[in-house]
Amino acid sequence: MAEKSVIAYFKTREDADSASTKLKSMRVQDVSVSEFGRYTGEAMVGPGFPAGGGTNSLAALTLNTSVSSNDAGILLAAHPGASGQSTGETVSGHNYLLSAIVADDIHHQALSIVEQSGGYV
What is the per-residue pLDDT across 90-121, written as a single tens digit (0 to 9) for each?
Answer: 556 788 899 999 999 999 999 999 999 999 99
Domain boundaries, the chain: 1-37+90-121, 39-87
d(CA 83, CA 105): 50
What is the per-residue pLDDT across 26-41, written as a single tens digit (0 to 9) for each?
Answer: 989 899 999 876 655 5
Bridge partner residues of 7 (DSSP):
99
pTM as predicted:
0.62
Q: Name the CATH topology of 1-37+90-121.
A: Alpha-Beta Plaits (3.30.70)
